[in-house]
C-alpha cells in the first residue's frame, strides 16, 4: 500500500483530542485508529505490535542477521488531530496534476497561491485536501502513513538494518503526547518524530512554551451607583490584553520571534478569564515574557486591590536544541540521506512543539522530520502524494545510514 492510500484511510477516522477531558487518552476515539494500526502492523510482520491502556501503540522490526549491535533507531508519529478545527467526517479529496493555481473546495474554501505561495512549487503533483469543511488530519496521519509504508517496504527488502522501534502516541496536539511513552519498552537509542511540514524539513529547534491564564474577580454593584465602587472584571480582562505588546502576536511574528497568543477571553462584571499561550525560542526571552505577565498581575492588584487578578502559568515544553546539539550526527545523517535523494535540506526553527521536544528532555534525542504537509490545523490543510513518497524514502535512507553506525 502506498503512503497516500494509508493517509486517506486513516484521515476518515475521527481522532481529535480533547484538552478539557483530563483523561489519558483525552478522547476514547483515539483508540479507533490505534487498534486499526495494531492489526495492520501485525499483518505487515511488525513484531510486538500492541496498544496499551493509555493509547500508546508500540512495535518493532528486528535487526537483520549480523546487525544486532547497530543502534536502535525509532520513528514516532501521533494519532490525534488538532481540536482547533472540525476533525470529524473528514472527506479526503485527490486533485491529480495540480496546475499551481487556485483550488476551490466544495465547502467554499479556496486554496490560493497568493496566500500560500508554496502552492506554485507543487504544480504537476497530486494534491490531497479535505472538502473544506474539516481539517485533513495529515498532521499527523501523514507521519503515521509514511512510517507504516517505510516499515512495509523495509520488511520486503533485503537491505541490512538494525532494530527499528515504532510508536504512535495520543494527545500530541494538546501537549501531552510524550508524557506516558514507555521509553524502556520503546527501546530506542534515538528517534525521529515525523510530524513536520515540507518533505525536506529537519527540525531540531523549537519554542519554549507555557500556557497562562488570568482570572479576574470583579465587584458588581448597580451601574447607577457604581462610581468608585464597581470593578468591572470584563474591562480588567481587556486591560490585561492592552498591557501586552501589540505587535508580538502570531500573526505578526515569524522565524525565531516569540509571541503572546490570546486563546480566549470571557466574562462579565463579576468575573472574567483571559488565556494565552506563550512562545519564545530564546530561554532568556521566554523568561522575560513570563516575567511580563507576572508584572501585569502585580500592577493590576496594586491598582484594583489584592486578589483582583490571579495568574496561573503552566510550563508545557522546552527548546530541544540544547539536547540535540551534543548528538548532531542525528541531523548530519538526515542531511546526507536527503542530499543523496536530490533534496535540499531545510532546517527552520519550529514555531510550535512536537513530542520530540519532550522526549529529548526525557533522555531520548528526537529531532523532527517533515511529512510533506502544509497549512495544518484548519480547512486549508494539504499535502502531495509525491511529497509523502519522498518522506518514505528519507525514512528508509535513515535506516541504511544508521546500519553503518558503530554502537557508542
Burial string for 68-88 (b: 16+ CB within 10 Å, else e) reads: eebebbbbbbbbbbbbebbbe
- Rounded CA gap, 246 and 243, in Å? 8
- Rounded CA gap, 18 and 24, in Å? 10
Which residues are bridge partners to 301 per DSSP? none
The CA dihedral of 321, 192, 188, 280, to the nearest 10 degrees, is 30
Q: Which of 171, 172, 199, 205 is catalytic?
A: 172
The residue assigned the cell 490571579 is 310
- Helix, strand, or coil (residue 285): helix
Active-site residue, 18 included: no
Active-site residue, 184 included: no
- CA dihedral over 146, 148, 153, 155, signed as positive or negative: positive
- Rounded CA gap, 348 and 321, in Å? 12
- In total, the chain counts a number of residues equal to 408
Q: Which of 80, 203, 239, 280 is catalytic?
A: 80
CB 23 within 8 A of CB 80: no
Q: Who contacts 18 (Cβ-Cβ below 8 Å, separation ≥6)?
A: 26, 27, 83, 174
CB 367 within 8 A of CB 347: no
Catalytic residues: 80, 172
Amino acid at each position: 500500500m502506498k503512503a497516500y492510500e494509508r493517509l486517506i484511510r486513516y484521515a476518515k477516522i475521527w481522532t481529535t483530542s480533547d484538552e478539557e477531558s483530563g483523561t489519558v487518552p483525552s478522547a476514547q476515539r483515539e483508540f479507533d485508529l490505534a487498534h486499526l494500526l495494531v492489526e495492520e502492523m501485525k499483518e505487515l510482520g511488525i513484531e510486538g505490535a500492541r496498544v496499551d491502556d493509555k493509547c500508546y501503540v508500540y512495535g518493532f522490526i528486528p535487526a537483520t542477521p549480523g546487525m544486532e549491535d547497530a543502534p536502535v533507531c525509532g520513528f514516532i508519529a501521533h494519532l490525534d488531530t488538532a481540536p482547533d478545527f472540525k476533525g470529524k467526517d473528514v472527506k479526503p479529496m485527490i486533485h491529480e496534476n495540480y496546475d499551481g493555481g487556485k483550488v476551490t473546495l466544495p465547502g467554499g474554501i479556496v486554496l490560493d497561491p497568493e496566500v500560500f505561495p508554496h502552492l506554485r512549487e507543487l504544480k504537476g503533483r497530486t494534491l490531497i485536501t479535505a472538502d473544506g469543511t474539516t481539517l485533513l488530519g495529515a498532521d499527523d496521519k501523514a507521519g503515521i502513513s509514511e512510517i507504516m509504508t517505510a516499515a512495509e517496504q523495509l520488511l520486503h527488502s533485503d537491505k541490512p538494518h538494525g532494530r527499528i522501534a515504532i510508536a504512535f502516541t495520543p494527545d500530541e496536539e494538546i501537549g501531552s503526547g510524550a508524557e506516558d511513552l514507555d521509553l524502556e519498552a520503546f527501546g530506542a537509542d534515538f528517534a525521529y518524530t515525523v510530524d513536520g511540514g515540507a518533505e525536506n524539513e529537519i527540525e531540531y529547534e523549537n519554542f519554549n512554551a507555557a500556557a497562562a491564564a488570568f482570572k479576574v474577580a470583579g465587584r458588581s454593584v448597580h451601574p447607577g451607583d457604581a462610581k468608585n465602587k464597581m470593578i468591572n472584571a470584563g474591562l480588567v480582562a481587556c486591560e490585561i490584553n492592552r498591557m501586552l505588546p501589540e505587535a508580538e502576536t502570531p500573526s505578526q511574528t515569524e522565524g525565531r520571534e516569540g509571541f503572546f497568543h490570546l486563546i480566549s477571553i470571557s466574562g462579565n462584571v463579576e468575573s472574567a478569564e483571559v488565556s494565552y499561550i506563550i512562545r519564545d525560542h530564546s530561554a532568556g526571552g521566554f523568561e522575560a515574557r513570563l516575567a511580563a505577565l507576572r508584572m501585569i498581575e502585580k500592577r493590576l492588584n496594586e491598582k484594583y486591590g489584592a486578589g483582583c487578578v490571579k495568574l496561573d502559568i503552566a510550563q508545557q515544553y522546552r527548546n530541544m536544541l540544547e539536547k540535540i546539539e551534543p548528538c548532531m550526527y542525528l541531523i548530519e545523517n538526515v542531511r546526507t540521506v536527503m542530499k543523496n535523494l536530490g533534496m535540499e535540506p531545510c532546517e527552520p526553527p519550529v514555531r510550535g512543539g512536537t513530542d520530540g521536544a519532550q522526549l529529548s528532555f526525557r533522555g531520548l534525542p528526537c529531532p523532527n522530520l517533515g511529512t510533506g504537509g502544509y497549512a495544518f490545523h484548519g480547512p486549508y490543510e494539504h499535502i502531495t502524494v509525491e511529497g509523502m513518497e519522498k518522506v518514505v524514502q528519507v525514512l528508509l535512507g535513515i535506516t541504511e545510514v544508521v546500519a553503518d553506525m558503530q554502537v557508542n
